[in-house]
Amino acid sequence: MNLAEIVSQFESGEAGTDAYVELRAQCLSLIEQDSANAAAYFLIANFARSYVILYEEEAVTVDIARKAKATMLDYLQRIVASQNGGAEARLAALNAIAVDYQRSEKIF
């Protein structure tokens, strides 16, 4: 499975913690398969881990779940788009995601 397929699966699934557990596992497995994009997979896996830690035992409002999923999908889609470019494009995407996350509400 590649990242585009994982994104499609995540996008069509529910917004609960189980989706983030699966996303994390899939991204961690991609690290071994595609080392050129390991940093991106590691970043997403840790965002997913944070979501699970924050919300696993709490009731999450629909608004928070949708917002988190939209943010995660944005990050994932940026990474997928950057994979067609070279190392500079991939690094630029990761840097932009890091800056966006730092400025965000840190929902995960």
Band (29; pLDDT cuts 50, 70, 90): very high
The pLDDT tens digits for 39-94 are 999 999 999 999 999 999 988 999 999 999 999 999 999 999 999 899 999 999 99
Where are the alpha helices (H) located in 56-86, listed in sequence order? 62-82
pLDDT for position 59: 87
Q: Where are the domains of the chain?
A: 3-103
The amino acid sitting at 79 is I
- Quote the pTM value: 0.94
What does the chain come to in residues? 108
